[in-house]
Chain A
């Protein structure tokens, strides 16, 4: 069957109050047939950036197009840094076209490229990626915060390459989740520094066993915008899930 995916971005309740759009974006592509590849990108626009939603959408689009065109080119650190540099440049050029400073398109980026036997992950800024072998869940990079809770790195920063995290995992990965920082405190356990398995397992299991995954879209959105989630965070929330089904 290949990869089955579910993704939703919900504007944070703070945005309802100020009437600003959701500043998270995501893209995913599948290629190479049933036993093939999945590329997933999630970007979180900086709350203080006036065109953040433009930056996040552009980031996801450029990553998705380039990875789908030549996935092998990004399976090593140099190739991935090169790709991030190209996306950084695209943001700078778009800012110039719009007549604003690049900071107005600032966003973070989570990038996952998963093949049959190997996977590559790259991250700039906050948010978290979680992988699972079907039972245990683990974070790809543990989110180390900057000293202050409201500071992070952005793709538009001049020295973004210094903050880029990259890893290759040479094993099949059947389940993956990408989430923006609005959900971090609900999905991670900060005392043990681990993914909170009781958050991810039901999500992966539902996606794995659903007869018609498309029917999960509405309840998934309802969950992300539910009172029990919104009382813990007023930030934008994006959750991307993918499960490889035989």
Chain B
């Protein structure tokens, strides 16, 4: 025990952890209310929602329910990693009837997964611009507060086609990727317009297998954890595990 004494009084500086920011950009348009499991009784009529015709049923698990379950799994996985819990920051922006910042940037251990509801159309263009601006604003705050940060991620999940104009958003994504301002990932759910997604996203859009939102969100958490643990020189080469558990390529 005497061996421990020589350096017991070396005081460690306390500095804030570097931040690893991630925007979750989630489609909450009406089609996300589609039932994907445990469908209840058929009520005998149809409804028009978000450009599609649906049979009304008494209940069931919807796409948005699966997203909500995924958000909770995301938070749980991040919390299991004490360094990531201090470093990863999450912001949730949804787009449906409006573009809404449901949950502004907070560190993972302060993140309370919201319960999202689905309604409205798909203003994807406006949503992407909101996400890009949120990232730029957050970086400005980091710099003002002397915080270091990793390259921000924007993670888009959508099941439809944009109902607003998206060309300006596509230009902002290309510009941002070219200047390494952020990394933009997109995931299309069954029914998404992959042709448009490919014109918006520089990285190839991924196709969600079925409704495996939970697996997707856990993969995202593990990827964010890898980034948050990465050290200088690894900026371009953070090893992400393959998404083939939840995406068909």
- Partner-B contacts on A (CB < 8 A): 14, 46-49, 106, 108, 125-126, 145-146, 148-152, 154, 181-182, 185-191, 196, 198-199, 202-203, 206, 216, 218-220, 222-223, 228-229, 231-232, 234-235
**B155 CB within 8 Å of chain A:** no
Q: Is the CB of A152 within 8 A of B12?
A: no
Q: Is the CB of A145 within 8 A of B4?
A: no
Chain A positions within 8 Å of B7 at CB level:
202-203, 206, 219-220, 222-223
Q: Is the CB of B10 within 8 A of A148?
A: no
Give CA–CA (A108, B233) in the complex, Å: 10
**How many cross-chain pairs have Cβ atoms below 8 Å apart between A and B?**
106
Q: Is the CB of A47 within 8 A of B10?
A: no
Min CB gap B201→A, angstroms? 21
Give CA–CA (A191, B144) in the complex, Å: 11
Chain A positions within 8 Å of B4 at CB level:
219, 222
Q: Give the number of residues in B that approach A within 8 Å (Cβ atoms).
A: 32
Q: Is the CB of B10 within 8 A of A150?
A: no
Chain A positions within 8 Å of B236 at CB level:
48
**Selected contact of A188 from candidates B13, B150, B230, CB within 8 Å:** B13
Q: Is the CB of B12 within 8 A of A48?
A: no
Give CA–CA (A190, B148) in the complex, Å: 10
The DSSP consensus for interface residues of chain B is: loop
Give CA–CA (A223, B11) in the complex, Å: 11
Asked, given contacts A196-B13, A229-B12, whether A150 binds B3 with beta carbons under 8 Å apart, the answer is no
Give CA–CA (A153, B3) in the complex, Å: 38
Asked, given contacts A199-B11, A223-B10, A234-B83, whether A106 binds B233 with beta carbons under 8 Å apart, the answer is yes
Q: Which residues of B226-245 are within 8 A (CB) of A?
A: 227, 229-238
Q: Which residues of B5-53 are within 8 A (CB) of A?
A: 5-7, 9-13, 15-18
Q: Is the CB of A150 within 8 A of B15?
A: no
Q: Is the CB of A202 within 8 A of B10?
A: yes
**B149 CB within 8 Å of chain A:** yes
A-B contact pairs, 27 of them (CB 8 A): A47-B230, A47-B232, A47-B233, A48-B237, A146-B232, A148-B150, A149-B18, A149-B149, A150-B232, A181-B231, A185-B13, A185-B15, A186-B13, A189-B13, A190-B13, A190-B16, A190-B148, A196-B12, A202-B11, A203-B10, A206-B6, A219-B5, A219-B6, A219-B7, A223-B7, A231-B82, A235-B231
